[in-house]
Structure formats: structure tokens, C-alpha cells
Amino acid sequence: MILGLFLGETLVDLLRSYPKSLLGIMVLAAGIELAKVGESLNHGANDLWEVSELSLDSENRDERVERKQRELSGEERKERWTVMFMTIGGLLAFKNDGVGFLAGMLCHCAFSTEKIWKKWEGWRAKKNERNSRLGRQATTVEEEEELLSGDRTA
């Protein structure tokens, strides 16, 4: 700021004569450093902390809650990075924070929908398997008991 106040227009001329290739390298280095900060997305983020088992202090008889950081699987890490880069891509491409936010949210919703769909398919397969077992004759005592207990709950 001080240079800008005292040098004014001459500083702008100096910046215009600055080599573009050197400026590009500096911007690239700054971008890499900022991307490293994004690694905190997978380490130390608030949503990764969970409450571990409660421990009982023998002297004070007070319950203490211990928190520990949850470990992410490789798939979760990939999803988090993808959502982050979609948000950044929308922000940079359209120069609009709202578009970047929507791009990130849509990407997150796509991942969530996939997980919900897989759970629903698993539930449906179990239900179909149970219905097929109920439809046939019981051949063992265990199967007969299962059929009878299934009739009571239905």
C-alpha cells in the first residue's frame, strides 16, 4: 500500500513491464499452495470428528466424552475432492459464487443419490429373497419356525 501511495502511476507501469512468464509461474506456485490447504478437507475437518466411547472418571464420577477423528476410505476422499473441485470449477468458470455453490451441491447430491439407490436395491433384494422363501414349502424345522414367525409379523 505504501508503494502504491508514494509511487502511484509509475508502479503500474512497472507492473505492466513485468514478464508474463514469470507472473504465470508465480500464480501457478500460489495455486499449488492453496490446493495444499484443501487437504484439510480430509484431515481435521469438523464433520470428521466423532464421539468415542464414554470413559468414567473413578475419582470424580463424571462422565467424559472423548472425541477422535474418523478415518476416511479412499472412496470418501475421492468424493470430497470431486465436490470441492466442482465447486471451484463452477466458481471460476462463471465468476459467480452461487453457481459454484450449486455445482458443488449437485455433485454432492449425485454421490448421495448413488448411495441411497444402492441401499434401496439391497433392501429390495432382501425383501424378494424373504418373499421367495415364504412362498415355498418348509423342509426343515428352522424354516418352518421362520415361516410361522413371518406370518405373525405380517
The pLDDT tens digits for 119-141 are 888 888 888 777 776 666 556 77
Tell me, what's the pLDDT at 112? 92
Given this model, what pLDDT does residue 154 score?
46
pLDDT tens readout for residues 28-68: 888 888 777 766 666 767 777 777 655 444 455 555 667 77
112 within domain boundaries:
yes
- Non-local CB neighbours of 23 within 8 Å, separated by 6+ positions: none
Q: Which three cell numbers stand for residue 63?
A: 462422565
Distances (CA, A) of 20 to 4, 16, 24: 21, 9, 6
Report the pLDDT value the prediction gives residue 28, as an integer from 0 to 100: 84
Is the whole model's pTM more than 0.85, yes or no? no
- What distance in Å separates the CA atoms of residue 134 and residue 56, rounded to the nearest whole number? 48
16: in domain:
no
* Domain with 149 in it: 72-154
Total structural domains within the chain: 1
Long-range contacts, stretch 19-26, CB < 8 angstroms, 24+ apart: none
Residue 81 lies in a domain: yes
Q: Residue 47: name the closest of 21, 13, 72, 28 by CA.
A: 72
Domain membership of residue 45 (yes or no) is: no
The predicted structure's pLDDT at residue 56: 45
Q: Which letter does DSSP use for residue 39 in this model?
A: G
**pLDDT more than 70, % of the chain:** 75
70: left (phi over 0), alpha (psi -120 to 50) or beta: beta
Residue 102 placed within a domain: yes
Please check whether residue 111 lies inside any domain of the structure: yes
Q: Describe the crossing of helices 141-153 and 97-135 by its angle, rounded to 10 degrees.
A: 120
Domain membership of residue 48 (yes or no) is: no
Res 40: pLDDT: 65
Does residue 148 belong to any structural domain of this protein?
yes
Task: With a cut of 90, say whether residue 110 has pLDDT above it.
Answer: yes
